Amino acid sequence: MLVEQITARIASVGAQDPERQLFDAFMPLHHGTTYNSYLIRGSEATALIDPVDAEKYGQLTEALDALGVRKLDYIINLHTEQDHSGSTKMLRKRYPGVQLVGMKKVIELMGLHHHIAAEDFREIPEGGSLSLGDLTLEFYGLPFAHWPDNSAVLVKEEGVLMTSDLFGAHLATGSIFTEDLDLHREMTRAYYAEIMMPFRNQVKKHVAKIKALDAKILAPAHGPVWTKPDEVISLYEAWTGNEYRRHITIGYVSMHESVEKMVFQMAKKLSALGMPYSLHNLGAHTDSLMRAGGDMVTSCVDDPALILAAPTVLTNPHPTAMYAAVLVDTLKPKLQFLSYVGSFAWGSKAPQTIEALTSSFKGERLEPFVVKGDPGTEDLEKLEAYIEDLVRRVDAFLEEE
Residues that bind ligand FEO (CB under 6 A): 79, 81, 83-84, 146-147, 165, 221-222
Minimum distance between the CB of residue 163 and ligand FEO, rounded to whole angstroms? 11
Minimum distance between the CB of residue 83 and ligand FEO, rounded to whole angstroms? 5
Minimum distance between the CB of residue 23 and ligand FEO, rounded to whole angstroms? 8
Kindly tell me which of 124 and 221 has the beta carbon lying closer to ligand FEO: 221
Sign of the Cα torsion 42, 136, 139, 205 reads: negative
Minimum distance between the CB of residue 148 and ligand FEO, rounded to whole angstroms? 11
Kindly tell me which of 166 and 259 has the beta carbon lying closer to ligand FEO: 166
Give, in order, the Cα–Cα distances in Å from 79 to each of 102, 119, 220. 8, 18, 12
DSSP string, 320-351: HHHHHHHHHHHH----SEEEEEEEESS---HH
Pick the closest to residue 242 from 204, 275, 277 (CA basis).
204
Kindly tell me which of 81 and 379 has the beta carbon lying closer to ligand FEO: 81
CA distance 32 to 27: 11
Minimum distance between the CB of residue 28 and ligand FEO, rounded to whole angstroms? 16
Burial readout 391-401 (b: 16 or more C-beta within 10 A, e: otherwise): bebbeebeeee
Helix ranges, 171-244 (H) = 181-191, 200-213, 229-240
Distance between alpha carbon 264 and the CA centroid of its chain, in Å? 30
Kindly tell me which of 147 and 277 has the beta carbon lying closer to ligand FEO: 147
Minimum distance between the CB of residue 144 and ligand FEO, rounded to whole angstroms? 11
Which residue has the CB atom at the shortest distance from ligand FEO?
Answer: 81
Kindly tell me which of 56 and 79 has the beta carbon lying closer to ligand FEO: 79
Minimum distance between the CB of residue 88 and ligand FEO, rounded to whole angstroms? 14
Pick the closest to residue 228 from 276, 185, 271 (CA basis).
185
Q: Judge if the upstream peptide bond of residue 280 is cis by omega within 30 degrees of 0.
A: no
Kindly tell me which of 165 and 379 has the beta carbon lying closer to ligand FEO: 165
Query: Do residues 47 and 73 lie in contact, with contact meaning Cβ atoms separated by under 8 Å?
Result: yes
CA distance 109 to 200: 23
Kindly tell me which of 9 and 206 has the beta carbon lying closer to ligand FEO: 206
Kindly tell me which of 84 and 92 has the beta carbon lying closer to ligand FEO: 84
Minimum distance between the CB of residue 195 and ligand FEO, rounded to whole angstroms? 7
Query: Do residues 28 and 291 lie in contact, with contact meaning Cβ atoms separated by under 8 Å?
Result: yes
CA distance 106 to 111: 9
CB within 8 Å of 265: residues ≥ 6 apart = 375, 380, 383, 384
Minimum distance between the CB of residue 15 and ligand FEO, rounded to whole angstroms? 12
Kindly tell me which of 79 and 280 has the beta carbon lying closer to ligand FEO: 79
